[in-house]
Amino acid sequence: MAKKRRKRRASGARAPRHSELSEETKKGIAAIIIALLGIISLLGFFGLAGKIGYVIDDKNALLFGWNRWLFDLILIILAWELLRAKKNILRFSKLFGLIIFFISFNGLLNLLLTDINVLDESELSLAGGYVGTLFSYLLVSWTGFWGTMVIALAFLAISIMILFNISVESILNLQVYLQDLHSLLGRNNNEEEEEEDDEEDTEEEIDEEETDDDREEENRPITHKRKMLPAFSNNDAEEEESIMTSKRRRKMEIPLDLLNDNSVNAKAGDIERNEEIIQHTFENFGIEVEMAGVKIGPTVTQYALKPAEGVKLSRIVALQDDLALALAAHPIRIEAPIPGKSLVGIEVPNQKIGMVTLRELLSSKAFKKRKTNFTAPLGKDVGGNVQMISVDKAPHMLVAGATGSGKSVCLNSIILSLLYQNGPDDLKLIMVDPKRVELGVYKGIPHLLVPPITKVEEALNALKWAVREMERRLDHLAKSGARDIDSYNAKSKERMPKIIIVIDELADLMSQSKRDVEAVIVRIAQMARAVGIHLILATQRPSVDVITGLIKANIPTRIAFAVASQVDSKTILDQAGAEKMDASRRSASTIH
């Protein structure tokens, strides 16, 4: 019994041994060993690694032939990829692509050198080695010389497509290979060139050189900074890098002269006569009111009145149709009470609608006093004051309106106002345009991450990419201790540009893939505000199957234009009113 107890105590005293080496350390050791093998073997190919290098090179020559130096490079690249990987694994697709490339290349070399003696080791070392021989001669016996040649070329093309993640259409484009190889090796030649230029600047020419550098940077092709979204590829999220720009931002000044200035003043008609009609109509129904002023807006004129004491507002609101009949105006709107005042407002359509242009809004004093460059002017209120909306206060926006109500005009005004304020280093756009005619005019601008998207599958991939980008940015913020994108950009060497996703017709996406689209939209709306990813959704069918409860709950900023029914108005605004707007006369909006 004593022996058993001792054994139990001894076994119980044994604590589980945990490895003191972290995963990063293990990964680094493995990468160094693989790189060491590749470098020693490569030096042996040139006779620079002594006896060990000679032995390794001799064995590699038999296995891989003349292409053994390519095998050495593959080992070095694998070591580099292992260091770059976030997890202690190598991507199977990359490894598989390298193996196919190496085998097919060796087999192709053996086919081209048809006079070699397979049994002669010296001749094998000048061709594709045993690997190339096994590939080529086995296939030649089955498919012949030309059939094997076609198979080898096909495998070679497939391996290149896997390694660089390119399509068949671009496989012959050398620029694509160079760009992907550039990103694979993780070089940044542009920054090195800028540093060299800065060192060569003399004190006498500092001002001139800075001006020239700015011009060159503005005129420089942006193809190296604009890349296709990883969402359209098969890359895992682990290999994607967050979109960053340098601290030195490109300035892009767009002249206001490009915008039309066709402002037209509104005409309200006979104001005094309308005041008398309003007062007389209320008197006919036993309601005493006192007129308290008039405000002429672009589309409506607001007549303010103060009811007598003891008059219920419900009695005034109930006379809306009677007032419209007396004024011979339709539709009219009763605002009871006017926000911030103890007055009731009656809005009557103007005889001549005033035209408010984007140029007028961008040149207004109110817009020039804005606090942020992510401010969009929406128009003027009934008092003629410019109404603006900021991305900081309205991170996500929902716009709804019937056909011809002004929904697309609103979207374009918001987009243009943001483009006027921000360069491509501060603002990136993703545009989804299933109708193919609304947002296509923006194709080619440097702010776009990708050309305007017209297919539902690509739109869904773009939204999924935005979710992954959001998670990467949240990781960056957590590591830096920043709470939002502005504080991160203030203290970081690299900037995160804000990304705005514009979807022109949400109903088309929801009709084809409702569950997936709703899930990614809700997730972006819930978490992406702090990292500078924002949504602008538009639809001409604001029904409950398009604007679901989850979407409404996470997008509180909603703009309604004229809609078909009261049900649609309540769906978008949670209140009636948008159905009473006359789309043929005006494109007013209601912000909820």
- pLDDT tens string for the chain (592 positions)? 444 444 444 444 444 444 567 777 887 888 888 888 888 888 887 888 888 878 887 777 777 776 677 777 878 877 887 777 654 445 566 677 777 887 787 777 777 765 555 545 555 555 666 677 777 777 777 888 788 888 888 888 888 787 766 666 555 554 544 454 454 444 344 444 444 444 444 444 434 444 444 444 444 433 334 444 544 444 444 445 566 665 556 666 788 888 887 777 888 888 899 999 999 999 999 999 999 999 988 889 999 999 998 889 999 999 999 999 999 988 888 888 888 888 999 999 988 888 888 999 999 999 999 988 999 999 888 888 899 999 888 999 999 988 888 888 899 999 999 999 998 889 999 999 988 888 989 998 999 999 999 999 999 999 999 999 999 999 999 988 889 899 998 888 788 999 999 999 899 999 988 899 999 999 999 999 999 999 999 998 888 889 998 998 999 899 988 888 888 888 888 888 788 776 544 444 434 3
Residues paired with 429 in a beta bridge: 448, 500
Residue 397: per-residue pLDDT: 93
The superfamily CATH assigns to domain 358-591 is: P-loop containing nucleotide triphosphate hydrolases (3.40.50.300)
How is residue 472 written in tokens? Answer: 């990467």
User: In which region does residue 165 sit, left (phi positive, over 0), alpha (psi from -120 to 50) or beta (all else)?
Assistant: left
Cα separations (Å) of 452 from 414, 435, 439, 443, 448? Answer: 16, 11, 7, 6, 8
Residue 183: per-residue pLDDT: 47
Would the CATH topology of 271-349 be identical to that of 358-591?
A: no
How is residue 391 written in tokens? Answer: 């991305």
Question: How is the chain split into domains, by residue range?
Answer: 23-183, 271-349, 358-591
Cα separations (Å) of 332 from 284, 348, 564? Answer: 19, 5, 17
Residues 508 and 537: their CA atoms lie apart, in Å, by 12
Residue 245: per-residue pLDDT: 64
183: Cβ–Cβ under 8 A, 6 or more apart, which residues? none
Phi, psi of 179 (to 5 degrees): -65, -45
Q: What share of the chain is helix, strand, coil (3-state, %, to 5)?
A: 50, 15, 35
Angle at 479 between CA 476 and CA 482, to 5 degrees: 75
Which of 565, 562, 459 is CA-nearest to residue 504?
A: 459
Structural fold of domain 271-349: Threonyl-tRNA Synthetase; Chain A, domain 2 (3.30.980)
Residue 281: per-residue pLDDT: 92
Are residues 592 and 556 in contact, defined by beta-carbon separation less than 8 angstroms? yes
Residue 352: per-residue pLDDT: 86
Cα separations (Å) of 165 from 63, 171, 184? Answer: 29, 10, 11
Cα separations (Å) of 15 from 12, 21, 56, 565? Answer: 8, 17, 43, 73
315: Cβ–Cβ under 8 A, 6 or more apart, which residues? 285, 287
